[in-house]
Amino acid sequence: MLRLLLIALLSLVLAACAPSETPRVGDYRSVGELRVATRHDAISYRLDEDGRASGFEHDLLLALGDTLGVPVRFVPYPDAARALDAVINGQVHMAAAGLGRNDRLPLSWSQSLREVEYVIVGRSDGRAVNAEKDLAGRTVSVRRGTLAADKVSEIRKRLPGVNVHFPTRSAEEKLLSDLAEGRLDLVATDRLHFVFAARIHPELEIVHELPGRSGIAWALPQAGGALATDIAAFLTEITASGRLARIADRYFGHVRRLDEADVATFLSRIRERLPRYRPFFHEAEALTGLDWRYIAAVAYQESHWDPHATSFTGVRGMMMLTADTADHLGVENRLDARQSILGGARYLDMLREQLPDDLPEPDRTWMATAAYNLGMGHMKGARTIARGLGKDDRSWWDMKSVLPLLSRPQYAQRLKAGPARGGEAVVMTENVRSFHDILLRLEAPYEPALALPRLRLGQTD
């Protein structure tokens, strides 16, 4: 009897000392927040130098939180597999981490946010892969728990000579960077991550297309419940309203504009020309508050960082200013790189300030960029035409379809300034977006040792 009592007491002590299981999260309405498992990724959820979060799924989830009336709490995990485990174990309400829908897992899924194709990426100077059999003897690196990993594993069943490498805690951008630098043989990923990587590593190329397509979706508990119903209604509404397309355009709409030659030339200019003018771009940020990499992107689009550039229309210099604009800005010599950069930056800042206060970012910046090409008069006229067509004149997504109309007589006659090559302004702006994104990834932000006073339009230094 005494022995049984001792065993019972010992059992109670051990139970008390044992670690308790993580409590399951309650309904988002009673908890007062929506807890979302995610992972750091260049596309879905990313942090900038100041710790501000952004990304395609990040922005969608903030909109979802507004609709549900609760704040969104992002809980980063080291990889997609652990984010999914957090949903299965009830630690979060859902997972959003660039997840390909996988119906073999004990989860339910939202409707697709975007389609995705999977590819195997190599180097352009590597051994050719003309067919699946050429993967024998090669090593394919891929993130564990992804659909790309499933597809490569299927190949290995058919072709045992394929080696599969699962790096720990490596996001796609790190795998593709290691591949570009020769530290990996091949990488399996999705096409969009390849496109982002190829913009700074033009030596990368798709060597093999993996079969089938999938949809990026949000993972929910298997029971679904009220949250699944709410999410379905939310996604149906933003798809019908075009908001989903606008958010996608914000992050992906410009990424395929540059071809391999464009990227290679830009990267060589970053190495060879940018160091000479970087101090002037830094000074321009100090004077205007605009990110120096954005100003540099505009300058590259205008002149390829050639201070003596001249067009047939008479615009000249690094920022391709007209004579009238240069006079207004106090630029005495348009061919002086520093004067041109500071003048062009002031002009960009002036254009941004002329746009309505309620125009959101980054749409405000892209419309100012287009106005740099068109002039603010044409931009205001285009916004009026957009409203007449039932389009959102505060959205760059909508304005991209309106600006090309400015060259057509039936629309040009409504403009006080006459017709304009609005299509050129769209191309210019989309290229600037691409150049800016590349510079954000390769160039450090400006950190002034001593803050300079911000000059107003018309002041000279």
Task: Provide the annotated active-site residues.
Answer: 302
Select from 443, 397, 22 the least CA-distant residue to 270.
443
Asked whether 342 and 348 are in contact (CB, 8 A), the reply is no
Bridge partners, residue 224, by sequence? none
Q: Tell me how far CA of residue 360 lies from CA of 158, 364, 368, in angstroms.
A: 52, 6, 12
Which H or E run includes 189? strand 186-190
Coil, strand, or helix at residue 289? coil
Angle ∠(47,230,239) on CA atoms, nearest 5: 70
List of long-range contacts for 80-85, beta carbons under 8 Å, 24+ apart = 80/39, 80/143, 80/145, 80/146, 81/144, 81/145, 82/37, 83/37, 83/38, 83/39, 83/219, 84/37, 84/145, 84/219
Return the DSSP state at 89: T
Sequence letter at residue 257: R
Phi, psi for residue 173 in degrees, rounded to 5: -60, -35
User: Is beta strand 94-95 parallel, antiparallel or unpaired with respect to 34-38?
Assistant: parallel
Question: 236 CB contacts (<8 Å, ≥6 apart)?
Answer: 111
Sign of CA dihedral 184, 138, 196, 256: positive
Positive or negative, the Cα torsion across 126, 132, 138, 139?
positive
